[in-house]
Amino acid sequence: MFKLSFPAPQRDRDPLAICAAIAIAFLVLLWQRLHLPTRIYFDEVHYVKAARELLLMARPKNPEHPLVAKEFIAAAIWLFGDTPQSWRLFPALFGSLGLFAFSRALWLASGRAFATVAGTLLLATDFLWFVMSRIAMLDMIMAGFAMLALWMLAGAVRWPGQARLRLVLAGVFLGLSLGAKWSVLATAMLPGLAFLVLRLRQHGRRFLLATDGAPIPGISLAEAGLWLGTLPLLVYFASFMPAFFYAERPVDPLHLVEYQGYMLKLQHSVVKPHPYQSVWWQWVLDIRAIWFLYEKIDGVQRGVLLLGNPFSLLAGLPALGWCLWAGWRQRRMDALAAALFYLTAIGMWVANGKPIQFFYHYLLPSTFLMAGLALALDALWHRPDRWRWAAPAALALSLALFAWFLPILSAAALCCGKPSYQAWMWLPTWR
What pLDDT does residue 4 have?
47
**Are the C-beta atoms of residues 116 and 103 closer than 8 Å to each other?**
yes
Task: Identify the burial level of 386 via C-beta atoms within 10 angstroms of its C-beta, where 0-12 means exposed, 13-18 middle and 19 or more buried.
Answer: exposed
In DSSP terms, 291 is beta-bridged to 305
| Inside any domain, residue 10 | no
What pLDDT does residue 74 have?
98
| Inside any domain, residue 3 | no
Measured over the CA atoms of residue 329, residue 147, residue 283 and residue 28, the dihedral's sign is negative
Return d(Cα 229, Cα 168) in angstroms, integer.
11
Range of the domain at 372: 15-430
Please enumerate in sequence order all residues whose Cβ is within 8 A of that of 326, keeping only pairs 6 or more positions apart, or say none.
Answer: 332, 335, 336, 375, 379
Question: Residue 33, Cβ neighbours under 10 Å: how many?
Answer: 18
| Inside any domain, residue 284 | yes
| Inside any domain, residue 8 | no
Return d(Cα 259, Cα 196) in angstroms, integer.
29
What pLDDT does residue 422 have?
87
Return d(Cα 177, Cα 233) in angstroms, integer.
11
Angle at 170 between CA 167 and CA 171, to 5 degrees: 90
Distance of CA 306 to the CA centre of its chain: 15
| Inside any domain, residue 9 | no
| Inside any domain, residue 353 | yes
Strands 290-297 and 300-306: antiparallel
Cis peptide preceding 215, ω within 30 of 0: yes
What pLDDT does residue 354 have?
81
Instruction: Please report, for residues 102, 208, 217, 226, the alpha-carbon distance to residue 204 in angstroms, rounded to integers and kept in the order given.
Output: 34, 9, 16, 20
Return d(Cα 345, Cα 364) in angstroms, integer.
7
What pLDDT does residue 415 have?
83
What pLDDT does residue 298 have?
84
What pLDDT does residue 2 have?
42
The phi, psi pair for 151, rounded to 5°, reads -60, -50
The letter for the amino acid at 309 is N
Query: pTM of the entire structure?
Result: 0.96
What pLDDT does residue 5 have?
46
- Give, for all 431 residues of the chain, the pLDDT tens digit: 344 444 454 578 999 999 999 999 999 999 999 999 999 999 999 999 999 999 999 999 999 999 999 999 999 999 999 999 999 999 999 999 999 999 999 999 999 999 999 999 999 999 999 999 999 999 999 999 999 999 999 999 999 999 999 999 999 999 999 999 999 999 999 999 999 999 999 999 999 999 998 999 999 999 999 999 999 999 999 999 999 999 999 999 999 999 999 999 999 988 888 889 999 999 999 999 999 999 998 889 999 999 999 999 999 999 999 999 999 999 999 999 999 999 999 999 999 878 899 999 999 999 999 999 999 999 999 988 888 999 999 999 999 999 999 999 999 999 876 788 888 999 998 98
Question: Residue 299, Cβ neighbours under 10 Å: how many?
Answer: 7
| Inside any domain, residue 4 | no
% helix, strand, coil for the chain, step of 5: 65, 5, 30
Q: How many domains is the chain built from? A: 1
**Angle subtended by helix axes 68-80 and 163-180, to nearest 10:** 80
Return d(Cα 43, Cα 21) in angstroms, integer.
31
What pLDDT does residue 15 have?
98
| Inside any domain, residue 306 | yes
What pLDDT does residue 62 have?
94
Q: Which is nearest to 339 in space by CA: 109, 98, 133?
A: 109
Q: Is 295 helix (H, G, I), strand (E, B) or coil?
A: strand
